[in-house]
Chains A and B, each alone.
Chain A
């Protein structure tokens, strides 16, 4: 027995939805005529497709979404290629196919159904399965891989939730502290309360500063970029984080290579590397080592920040660069920070035509690596030139030291 598939409607909007009617050629008793549904004229003959049915089956197989058509008694009449192999991973394909058939069979009497199907393993994926009952009571089901969409959804909702959490906590703290202060007469307590209000205000202003930095970096262009020596960036970061490192009992060691430059914004680069080093210090224990390692290749330079700290579980690797994402929410209180650091790092790196990656294992430490394209206009030799030659017109400027006094 053969079937004629007729595409009734194409839907709609951004999502890909297809509605299909399917009827038997020989069921004259239903009063339906077996009409040639698709006529393609003047189509250059490729491999010959014998019937319109085969043409449609081939067309369905070309769709990225899975399409399953079931008879009135829920026996499966047709599955396109994607319905059988949507993910390219066997066990996921098998589970999705099973879920579709189960949904179709549970929904013989239902107009439309929708189910989200998630797999937990490696890789973790999400699928949207929808069924729709047709006018002749056959059922069509579509499957879509929504892994990426659902990831973006999670990022968005988490961002809003985290932002309000990060902003509300210090504000709530300040309000409560000030409220207590109103009724307080003991000068010692008042002093302690106001000190804490100052702390919370700094925390709030740091978050707002970072947010502004981030949006500046996000929209920043390359208008006023100069060649920046990586040595200078690394040295400045070491100097800036020294105090924090000493307090935490961590030694920061830099393996620098001179003569490597990138074209960019020095302040942004310092801020990115400082964030990485400061994180490394924060999450290391007493007596641990943080290593900053610069390694140039002929066209790129990588700056790795290697620590022996608590590390990050693999399921968090993709998400830590999101704004306000916290691996451990409880811990973020004690370590401080705005939750924006790694997000800034990522944006700075991509602004400069590079990227940042992480290799980490829980309990073993983390390595964050920024890779940037080198500025090769000044020097093409590895590790040679230490300083940018001072342009001759600058040497004519008045001695700045006298101005400073």
Chain B
């Protein structure tokens, strides 16, 4: 029995390290995609688009091994929460990699069109911010640090503000020098991708908290609903 538990723990540790490694790849993918976009690097775009298959394969491996542990070891409490979190985190990572790949695909579509310096500056900032959020998220996962994980949501508001600023800047640029419509639309979509990557990093932070102490953001909503039920207030009239 002792021996089995030991095996199980080392298997869990290995899966955790696979998640950290997948996270590292996603963190690295964000600035690479941004470089591709800002320098119009078509070769780089192709390379990154293809590298997504490897990320998918890794995510698949993590899921399979997690299922194995769940099926064979019947983990409970903290370990069960951890494994469930790993499944969700892996999905967030995989989705974020897809978004980074989408940025590369957008780079192909706007190839040869010049991006206004203000917009370039904001793109760099959004990229740095998204990368930073993911660095914190993966650090909190690897170190099982609930405090860092909880801080990510607040950090994300800066990226959201940049996103709004960017959309505003597109309008201003267009008012000033009539921007190409395709370029404007693609860039607006790209900004959305960065913003979504940030949201996934926030999700990872929430899963990490759940694994450590069982906290879920839904608990807040449930609590609000309970209070409304108690006061007999109809939710829609609340504004």
A residues adjacent to B (C-beta < 8 A): 89-92, 94-95, 98, 119-122, 124, 310-311, 313-315, 361-364
Contacts and interface: CB of A to CB of B under 8 A. Distances in A.
Nearest to B33: A120
A310 B117 CA distance: 7
B76 to A, nearest CB: 30
Contacts of A311: 117, 121
Given A94-B21, A120-B31, 15 more contacts: A90-B139, A91-B23, A94-B23, A94-B24, A119-B28, A120-B28, A121-B131, A122-B132, A311-B117, A313-B124, A363-B117, A363-B118, A363-B119, A363-B120, A363-B121
Contacts of B32: 120-121
Interface residues of B, number: 25
Dominant SS among interface residues on chain A: loop
B124 A90 contact: no
Contacts of A363: 116-121
A95 B24 CA distance: 6
B142 interface: yes
Contacts of A121: 27-28, 30-32, 131
A122 B32 CA distance: 11
Contact of A90 (B31, B117, B120, B142): B142
Nearest to B173: A363
A362 B118 contact: yes
Contacts of B28: 91, 95, 119-121
A87 to B, nearest CB: 11
A98 B54 CA distance: 14
A313 B135 CA distance: 22
A95 B21 CA distance: 7
Dominant SS among interface residues on chain B: helix
Contacts of A362: 117-118, 120-121, 124
A91 B135 CA distance: 7
Interface string B151-162: 000000000000
Interface in B136-168: 138-139, 142
A91 B20 CA distance: 8
A90 B17 CA distance: 12
Nearest to A309: B117
A95 B120 CA distance: 28
B120 A313 contact: yes
Contacts of B142: 90
A361 B138 CA distance: 29
A282 to B, nearest CB: 15
Nearest first, the 3 closest Cβ-Cβ pairs linking A and B are A363-B118, A362-B121, A91-B24
A94 B19 CA distance: 11
Contacts of A95: 24-25, 28
Contacts of B135: 89-91
B79 interface: no
Contacts of A89: 135
Residue among B24, B25, B28 with max Cβ neighbours from chain A (10 Å) = B24
